[in-house]
Amino acid sequence: MDWLDKAFAAAGAAAWGGAAFSDLAGRMSPAARAEAERLCPRPRTVLAAAFPYYAGDRPGNLSLYARGADYHAVVARRLNTVCEVLIEKYPEESFFPAADSSPLPEREAAWRAGIGLRGMNGLLILPPYGTYVFLGTILTGAALDLPARPPAPDCPNCGACRAACPAGALEAGGPEASRCLSELTQRKGALTAEEEARLRAHPLIWGCDICQRACPYNAAPARSPLPEFSAGLVDRLGPADLAGLTNRTFRDKYGDRAFAWRGPGPLRRNLSLKEE
């Protein structure tokens, strides 16, 4: 499907593939399957695509993924251009793009579509970009004649990411989200003394790149060609950047960033822990 290769390339995707919805349904909860079927009655195909975001190893206190424009909006907008091409070919079908905001298991879709490698840390590894890629999906009821690809193989299992994780969140059965430092930085509400200590020792106030930095595939990753992720970056936030902001003014100032969805509260708390 050269025309679809060209459509994804024009959208800025570094790789793409497709999987049958029926192959993913078994990895979804009943509620997630019901939501997918509400969005797209009789879903048949899931297209998955990877968009690079690495902009260099710049100092800062925000995770690399959160420094550019909000990937939810960027990836969805870029996938919309692919949907426009698909609609021309299949005018009677519907296509639903999403990025980390749909009931679909995006990583599983990418792995089943044969994109990259399955990292021990649960991330997709796509050389030469390593794990520094955002994933997006397109759900449709169209029965697309996609090229057959074997599912993505596992990474070499060197154990570097597991050894590097200070919270011990990477287990043999997969990542344990409740212990992940990235999840902890985003958590609202009161934290235990142990959790506060972990954040105090953590170099970032939002997200965590430790397991990614340890991965050999990220030793010298290629930089993103996408301007949304390579220009106008916010590398660091300090108390002065958040001073006096209400939830509304915070959204006005930073609403186009992926770190804004929880509001200023977690960021202020995490910064205050660094000052103690």
Residues classed as catalytic: 100
Instruction: Please name the residues in contact with 39: beta carbons below 8 A apart, sequence gap of 6 or more.
Output: 96, 102, 103, 139
Phi and psi at 192, nearest 5°, equal: -75, 165
Residue 210 corresponds to which tokens in the numbers above? 């430790």
**Angle between helical axes of 265-275 and 193-201 (0-180°, round to 10):** 80
Instruction: Tell me the torsion sign for CA atoms 76, 78, 82, 87.
Output: positive
CB 215 within 8 A of CB 125: yes
- Note the helical H segments in the chain: 2-10, 21-25, 30-39, 71-89, 106-112, 160-164, 181-186, 193-201, 210-214, 227-230, 239-242, 247-254, 265-275
CB 23 within 8 A of CB 113: no
